[in-house]
Structure 1
Amino acid sequence: MRCLLAFGLSAWARAQAPALVSESALPRAVETALETQIELHRRGFSCGAIDGVTGAQTAAALRGIQRAAGLRESGLLDEPTQELLQLTEPVLTTYTVTAEGLAELRPVPTTWLEKSQQPVLAFATALEQIAERFRAHPRLLQRLNPEVDWTALAEGAVITVPAVERATVTGRASHITIRLEARELELEDADGRVIAHFPVSIARMAEKRPLGELHVTVAITDPNYTFDPVVFPESAEAKTLGRKLIIPPGPNNPVGRAWIGLDRSGYGIHGTPDPEKVGRTESHGCFRLANWDALTLLRHVFVGMRVAVEP
């Protein structure tokens, strides 16, 4: 990958990321929604899939970082928050499509039985693969790359992407707080300071939402998943299967790329194959994060860590 200047970018991209016009302009405060989202992600304050549009999850991430910094929790990109969110490097970069990446793609079956028969539930398309790698909403990639034919992407194609693959969480994690009504999960240090923030999906049925204190029992990267027909009464296939199935790992596994088990049977914090839906749809009972956020959280949890679930 290489960093971008203004060369080759669409007018929309240049408007959203003016730091690209001249690297000598850095460091400076963020100015646009896209810059704000990328800088928040870099610091471990996730606003979900990066889309360049200010919404409820961006506001929640801003409130999280404002809490961490002792600022007024406005949820807005006000002047003190702009001064806090200083850009030190360009917000967009390029990714060159590789033969290895394309070779990893494979269709995702539609039935549970067919899924259980696969060696891995990999990415189905290059758009999905690149979007997840760079924490982006697919529509953002399409807007940044208006000339790209995503159905015929070839080795060597150069794609403009957000310049963020990994979040840097500052501080030592002590515990997790999940707020059900706000649909947010925050990682905090021993003094209660927020060091990371993630949007989260919660159980559809209120009686399946655990309240109180839980604890981490296990943390696994790329887990498999046990499909239990009893848990999916709405599924016509589940009614006829009559047995459990082991679903292989991969980004399109139902629990995504990470599983953090809790000391309540069947409950955990995990990833998802549908990151754009996190915080907007509901789960069967667990706490669902985007895969990139679940992997960030996984690096900072430990067995026995306290998880406080608040209304």
Structure 2
Amino acid sequence: MLLPKKLKHGDTIGVIAPASPPNLKNLRRSIHFLNQLGLHVKIAPHVNCKYGYLAGTDEQRLEDLHTMFADQFTNGIICAGGGYGTSRIASMIDYKLIKRNPKIFWGYSDITFLHQAIRQKTGLVTFHGPMLSSDVGKENFDPFSQAMFNQLFEPMFLTYSKDISPLRTISPGEACGEIVGGNLSLLVNSIGSAYEIDTRNKLLLIEDVGEEPYRIDSFLSQLKLAGKLEDAAGIIVGDFSEAEPRKPDESLTLEQVFNFYFSRLDKPVLSGFKIGHCLPHFAVPLGAKATLSSLTKTLHIEPGVT
């Protein structure tokens, strides 16, 4: 486990768009928030580029990522948005460069693939949290989500409890381990690749957006068949927004799907975490050690910076 250095006032944040084109209006609005945190902002050269559904060509997006990690005057990197495209550049990334220049890396959704690849190749703790054009730059970006950025300025223990949102125990127990995971569909896409999700003795975080129950069922079936559910020490079920079936009378509910895959596991599984495509959005350091308990209905997470 390699912890990035904490930020301090006056530091510079690099902004990249390694997946789809960001909403530029929201991105511009988000810069004001970062400035209020006492940070300078450096926009990568190709953030404004478009190549179909991608924010520039693979080479351009890769160049921006490498440039920001190599730049000694950039202290952290926040992704502008998600969408699609990070798996296309994963095999071309210079992971030795990242390991030589460990720094804060923040995003979620399609960025899940980069979180996995970077962690498995370097051991660097990265952050699953709100992105600039997708969340921060929107008018409804809430104070709770804003406060999650404080963990970048000082090593702090995080606790998620039922005081934040109602939590449901699907399978009882208590377990410790590093948090891994993120967007469920991206985790499934990683199977069979060099960046396949490793859940052994880990706390697996899953979340997704816009997927009907049958699709989530198929994703979880793949994880089960690949041994990923059995290997995990515990499972953190985050937010699954826009998951309503188009034909409710012909569908299982999301709760039924989760019960089928998780209720018979001999490990803690809790659902209801506001982690994912939602507001408020509880940001977590991936790779950091944590404890998940159904006894207290809490998730305790160790600091993600040093």
Considering fraction of residues, name the structure with more helix: 2
Query: Normalising to structure 2: TM-score of the pair?
Result: 0.29
Larger radius of gyration: 1
TM-score of the two chains, using structure 1 as the length reference? 0.29
